[in-house]
A and B are shown apart, each in its own frame.
Chain A
């Protein structure tokens, strides 16, 4: 771990950097306990506010004191090396972590002034508001139509077949899949290609009418063409939804997001405007990661 040996050069001196000098650096540089978040964690009108969130799997701490606001109608990308806790964090936002045995969450995650970890909070209601798209496309082994219609059906969003048909069509249109599947809505959703399946999953999430969509590495199982299609879709969806995306690809984060948060060892290291974070990172760890020194 020789990442701090490099002497400060003249150009870099212009911007303030979280950097330890040889003299006062701790025994374990950039160990978790020494990382402090830099950048603006707050935004003007946040959709979700997270304060001092800690997540434990048994005795292991996966997220350490993370505070972060998620803005309205914007895309925030969570990046970081494997095992840094970004997936754990995103799964806190709609309490998908509840299904993990031994998982414990402390701190406050608020939507509309309501703490979602309040015992009063109903997860069904929460997940109808905060939808999720997973890493691997996971359509139900049912028809394309039933895949989309399932959510509205269980929530009772459509009064009759006509309304349901309309929800299905609108959702598929928003997900950019309508023209490809409109003639075979009765075909199984599992028969589509990987990219189409992922867009089907996005349409399925949209159909419930959420305000926030969480995407956990939605393109990691897709080829570059399908990825480009999804990225374009994310950009379109931004107008109506708040989107949180976890990604391994920094190019993707740079392309689709307005804000980016960099996680390291369960800590939120840096958060800021995407352009700023990628061109002019404030924290040494962020710079090392985006320049490919590790991760």
Chain B
């Protein structure tokens, strides 16, 4: 270390302090270096965990976005699917479309004869295939009487096998497909009649017991309605409470008490709000169980303290000089607040609201208490319909035994995270968009 020599002619005292400071320098620098290392390693640790989390979720989940389809030559037999013979939708709705699939499969594998083998063969194609054929027939009645190659969703076991999640090496009893079924699948693959395609069902369907028919849309719609209710209630109420407490309320023991209790509420475990919602909204007010309305009300309880605290901080950060300027030219307190304080505090308030919303979006515990954990197949169309939400859907699928739900669980988490990241990005954008300097 090459330190410059002390300034010439320094008196004894300053020379002494110079020496003391110089001796201590190495230690100080080492301390600073050490601290930087700690900080850097903390960040690296955090980033590594995040990367591992994303890698594990994406590697488990990305296969769910593709689904195995079986290509079959379907003969749209009027006898089977049009019992009344008039091609009307009513008549077509009563047809035996499963029979079409069975016939097509038997045609591909004519050797299969025994009942049990036939059942094993027919189980290769999803039960949703019949519904899809019906829709097709109603849409295009001209197909009736013709043979068309149709790609039908395979059963989830076939899907898992094609994706490599069922291993051939294991004994027959250790897997859900027997040796004959594997042979049929191999033959179909050889013929080029098995393909992986984009899994549209996953993004358009509601929940199902069958993994290949299960989708995230029902839960996404439920989450959407729940958040709409939460936002519509908690944002105006939270902002109004914050403005009143900051700008109008007298500062005394009562407002102090209220402030302490708002901070306490922010720390209450969310499941407690769920119990409160169950007792108040469902048992007392008799609102419909499992509905996004009740879910939104419960999440409003939960997010209100967060929004109030963030909004108050945002209002506090507006410089008092702006308030004085407005008051000084004769603006009333309300004009001061709404013309000057609120616009300047808005970015902070929006950020707080969106962070509160993001927390509400990821919340599952309080919603379990009010019945949003029910198995709901239909897609909700209003806040009164029974629904579930994305995190609860993740929980439900994670609990299901079928192998197909493993990848769907991860895929649902990816969708949830995409929602969260979008909302946070929106928060950042809004903050920079509305931020004004003074």
Do A and B pair up? The answer is yes
Residues of A within 8 A of B (CB): 94, 96, 99, 101, 124-128, 131-134, 136, 138-141, 150-151, 154-155, 190, 201, 204-205, 207-208
Residue among A96, A124, A125, A128 facing the most chain B CB atoms (10 A cut-off): A124
Residue among B251, B327, B332, B340 facing the most chain A CB atoms (10 A cut-off): B327
Report the bound CA distance from A101 to B247 in whole Å.
12
- Chain B residues, CB < 8 A from A136: 321
Report the bound CA distance from A208 to B327 in whole Å.
12
User: How would you classify the secondary structure of chain A's contact residues: helix, strand, loop or mixed?
Assistant: helix
Beta-carbon contact of B324 and A96 below 8 Å? yes
10 cross-chain CB contacts under 8 A: A124-B331, A128-B329, A132-B328, A132-B329, A134-B328, A138-B324, A140-B326, A140-B340, A140-B438, A154-B331
- Chain B residues, CB < 8 A from A132: 324, 328-329
- Chain A residues, CB < 8 A from B436: 141
Known contacts A138-B319, A141-B344, A150-B331; 12 further A-B pairs (Cβ under 8 A): A128-B329, A131-B328, A138-B322, A140-B322, A140-B326, A140-B438, A141-B322, A141-B437, A141-B438, A154-B329, A154-B331, A204-B325
Q: Tell me, yes or no, whether B335 is within 8 Å of chain A by CB.
A: yes
A-B contact number at CB 8 A: 71
- Chain B residues, CB < 8 A from A205: 328-329
- Chain B residues, CB < 8 A from A204: 325, 329
- Chain B residues, CB < 8 A from A96: 324, 327-328
Over the window 232-265 of chain B, the binary record of Cβ atoms lying under 8 Å from chain A Cβ atoms (1 yes, 0 no) is 0000000000000000000100000000000000
Beta-carbon contact of B327 and A99 below 8 Å? yes
4 closest A-B pairs by CB: A138-B321, A132-B328, A128-B330, A127-B330
- Chain B residues, CB < 8 A from A151: 329-331
Q: In B268-297, which residues have CB < 8 Å from any A CB? A: none
Residues of B within 8 A of A (CB): 251, 319, 321-332, 335, 339-340, 344, 436-438
- Chain B residues, CB < 8 A from A127: 327-330
A101, A140, A141, A155: the one within 8 Å of B330 (CB)? A155
Report the bound CA distance from A134 to B323 in whole Å.
12
Which A residue's beta carbon lies closest to that of B250? A101
Which A residue's beta carbon lies closest to that of B436? A141
Beta-carbon contact of B325 and A134 below 8 Å? yes
Beta-carbon contact of B330 and A124 below 8 Å? yes
Beta-carbon contact of A190 and B438 below 8 Å? yes
User: How would you classify the secondary structure of chain B's contact residues: helix, strand, loop or mixed?
Assistant: helix
Residue among B251, B319, B328 facing the most chain A CB atoms (10 A cut-off): B328
Shortest CB–CB separation between residue B374 and chain A, in angstroms?
51
- Chain A residues, CB < 8 A from B340: 140
- Chain A residues, CB < 8 A from B437: 141, 190
Report the bound CA distance from A207 to B330 in whole Å.
11
Known contacts A141-B344, A141-B436, A141-B437; is A150 also within 8 Å of B329 by CB? yes
Shortest CB–CB separation between residue A98 and chain B, in angstroms?
9
- Chain B residues, CB < 8 A from A133: 328
- Chain A residues, CB < 8 A from B329: 127-128, 131-132, 150-151, 154, 204-205, 207-208
Report the bound CA distance from A138 to B327 in whole Å.
12
Report the bound CA distance from A140 to B323 in whole Å.
9
- Chain A residues, CB < 8 A from B335: 154
Shortest CB–CB separation between residue B308 and chain A, in angstroms?
21
Which A residue's beta carbon lies closest to that of B332? A124
Report the bound CA distance from A170 to B325 in whole Å.
20
Report the bound CA distance from A137 to B251 in whole Å.
29
- Chain B residues, CB < 8 A from A126: 330
Report the bound CA distance from A163 to B339 in whole Å.
22
Which B residue's beta carbon lies closest to that of A207? B329
A94, A124, A150, A155: the one within 8 Å of B339 (CB)? A150
Known contacts A140-B340, A150-B339; is A134 also within 8 Å of B321 by CB? yes
- Chain B residues, CB < 8 A from A131: 328-330
Shortest CB–CB separation between residue B343 and chain A, in angstroms?
8
Report the bound CA distance from A208 to B330 in whole Å.
8
- Chain A residues, CB < 8 A from B319: 138
Known contacts A134-B321, A140-B340; is A154 also within 8 Å of B330 by CB? yes
Shortest CB–CB separation between residue A231 and chain B, in angstroms?
21
Which A residue's beta carbon lies closest to that of B321? A138
Shortest CB–CB separation between residue A128 and chain B, in angstroms?
4
- Chain A residues, CB < 8 A from B326: 140, 150
Report the bound CA distance from A201 to B321 in whole Å.
12
Which B residue's beta carbon lies closest to that of A208? B329
Report the bound CA distance from A61 to B438 in whole Å.
34
Residue among A96, A128, A141, A204 facing the most chain B CB atoms (10 A cut-off): A141
- Chain A residues, CB < 8 A from B330: 124-128, 131, 151, 154-155, 208
Beta-carbon contact of A99 and B323 below 8 Å? yes
Shortest CB–CB separation between residue B174 and chain A, in angstroms?
70
Report the bound CA distance from A190 to B324 in whole Å.
16
- Chain A residues, CB < 8 A from B344: 141
Shortest CB–CB separation between residue A156 and chain B, in angstroms?
11
Shortest CB–CB separation between residue B384 and chain A, in angstroms?
44
Shortest CB–CB separation between residue B316 and chain A, in angstroms?
14
Report the bound CA distance from A207 to B328 in whole Å.
12
A101, A128, A138, A207: the one within 8 Å of B325 (CB)? A138
- Chain B residues, CB < 8 A from A140: 322, 325-326, 340, 438
- Chain A residues, CB < 8 A from B339: 150, 154
Shortest CB–CB separation between residue A193 and chain B, in angstroms?
15
Report the bound CA distance from A125 to B332 in whole Å.
10
Which A residue's beta carbon lies closest to that of B438? A141
Shortest CB–CB separation between residue A218 and chain B, in angstroms?
12
Report the bound CA distance from A190 to B436 in whole Å.
10
Report the bound CA distance from A133 to B328 in whole Å.
8
Report the bound CA distance from A150 to B338 in whole Å.
13
Beta-carbon contact of A101 and B251 below 8 Å? yes
Shortest CB–CB separation between residue B433 and chain A, in angstroms?
14
Which A residue's beta carbon lies closest to that of B340? A140
Report the bound CA distance from A151 to B438 in whole Å.
19
Residue among A128, A136, A138 facing the most chain B CB atoms (10 A cut-off): A138
- Chain B residues, CB < 8 A from A94: 328
Report the bound CA distance from A208 to B329 in whole Å.
7
